[in-house]
C-alpha cells in the first residue's frame, strides 16, 4: 500500500504546534525563513520548506499538492482524532499511531474508489453520524483535515483567503464528482479562531466577503450564505453553505 505524506502547514506558530502530538509521523511545512525557528522548537519533527514567495495558506496548499505528491493536510491546532461513533464509556480519542494508520487506510480506500479528494467527518456530534452510511461519496471536506491524491485536476486559488476548503470541494465536484469521506472520525481543533499566526493573520470579514463573491462568481448559486438557526449562531455575516446538485 502506497503511503501518503501527512503534512502540517504552519505559519508563525513554531512554539504552539499541537498536531504533531495528535498523529504519528507528520511533517511541518513552513517558509524557508521560519525553518530554523521551527526546527529549534519542534525537535525530531521533519521540516519541509517552501519559498518565502509562497504567501498565504491557500498558496501554501497549492505548492504542497504540486510538490509533495499524495498528501494529507492537517492544521497545526489539531488536538486529537476522535471516534464519532462508540459505546457509552468508550474512550473516543484515537492514539497517534492508530490515527496515522486511519489516514493511510482512508487514502488507500479513496484511491481504490477512484477519488482524489478525501477527508473525514465535519462534526463530532454523534447525532449527525449515520451508522448505515459511514462512508460518504459526495459533499465537502473541512480545511483543517483533508487530503489530495496525485493525478487530479485540483488546485487552490490564491485569491481565496479563508475558504480554500470550499474552493477545492467545489472544484472536485466539478471535475471529479466523487469524494471519499470516512465520517466515523473527526479531527478536533483547539483555539482555532483565537490562536495568533496561521490563517488568523488573514481571516477577517472583508476577506470572507471577497471569498463569497469569488466562489459565487466561479461556481454559481450552489454557494449560499448560511442562515442563523436556533441551533447555531453565525460568527460573521458571510458564513457559507454549499448545496451540490448530486
DSSP letters for 43-86 = TTS-EEEE-TT--SHHHHHHHHHHHSSSEEEE-TTEEEEEESS-
- Judged against a pLDDT cut of 50, whether residue 113 lies above it is answered with yes
What pLDDT does 91 receive? 82
Give the per-residue pLDDT at 194. Answer: 46
pLDDT for residue 173 is more than 80: yes
Residue with cell 482555532: 192
Kindly give, in sequence order, each residue whose CB lies less than 8 Å from that of residue 149, ignoring residues fewer than 6 positions away.
4, 70, 107, 110, 111, 115, 116, 117, 118
pLDDT in tens, 187-217: 999 865 445 554 555 568 889 999 999 999 9
Q: What is the CATH number of the domain that holds 222?
A: 3.90.550
Given the C-alpha cell 461556481, which residue does it identify? 219
> What count of Cα atoms within 13 Å lies in the side-chain half-sphere of residue 245?
5
The reply to whether the predicted model has a pTM over 0.85 is yes
Domain of 91 in residue numbering reads as: 5-242
Q: Is the pLDDT of residue 109 over 90?
A: yes
Q: What is the pLDDT of residues 22-57, one digit of tens each?
A: 999 999 999 999 999 999 999 999 999 999 999 999
Total domains in the chain come to: 1
The partner residues of 242 in beta bridges, in order of sequence, read 223
User: 130 in helix, strand or coil?
Assistant: coil
Q: Contact, 57 vs 202, CB < 8 A?
A: yes
Mean pLDDT, residues 229-241 = 70
Amino acid at each position: 500500500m502506497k503511503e501518503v505524506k501527512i503534512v502540517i502547514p504552519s505559519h508563525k506558530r513554531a512554539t504552539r504546534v499541537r498536531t504533531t502530538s495528535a498523529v504519528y509521523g507528520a511533517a511541518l511545512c513552513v517558509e524557508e525563513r521560519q525553518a530554523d525557528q521551527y526546527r529549534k522548537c519542534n525537535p525530531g519533527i521533519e521540516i519541509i520548506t517552501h519559498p518565502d514567495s509562497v504567501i498565504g495558506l491557500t498558496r501554501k496548499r497549492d505548492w504542497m499538492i504540486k510538490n509533495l505528491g499524495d498528501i494529507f493536510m492537517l492544521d497545526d491546532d489539531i488536538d486529537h482524532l476522535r471516534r464519532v461513533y462508540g459505546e457509552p464509556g468508550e474512550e473516543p480519542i484515537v492514539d497517534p499511531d492508530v490515527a496515522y494508520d486511519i489516514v493511510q487506510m482512508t487514502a488507500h480506500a479513496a484511491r481504490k474508489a477512484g477519488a482524489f479528494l478525501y477527508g473525514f467527518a465535519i462534526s463530532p456530534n454523534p447525532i449527525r453520524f449515520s451508522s448505515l452510511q459511514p462512508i460518504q461519496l459526495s459533499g465537502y471536506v473541512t480545511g483543517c483535515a483533508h487530503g489530495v491524491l496525485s493525478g487530479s485536476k485540483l488546485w487552490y486559488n490564491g485569491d481565496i483567503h479563508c475558504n480554500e476548503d470550499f474552493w477545492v470541494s467545489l472544484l472536485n465536484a466539478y471535475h471529479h464528482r466523487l469524494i471519499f469521506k470516512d465520517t466515523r472520525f473527526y479531527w478536533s481543533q483547539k483555539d482555532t479562531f483565537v490562536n495568533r499566526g496561521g490563517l488568523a493573520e488573514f481571516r477577517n470579514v472583508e476577506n470572507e466577503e471577497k471569498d463569497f463573491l469569488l466562489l459565487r462568481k466561479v461556481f454559481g448559486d450552489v454557494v449560499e450564505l448560511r442562515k442563523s438557526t436556533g441551533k447555531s449562531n453565525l460568527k460573521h455575516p458571510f458564513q457559507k453553505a454549499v448545496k451540490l446538485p448530486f
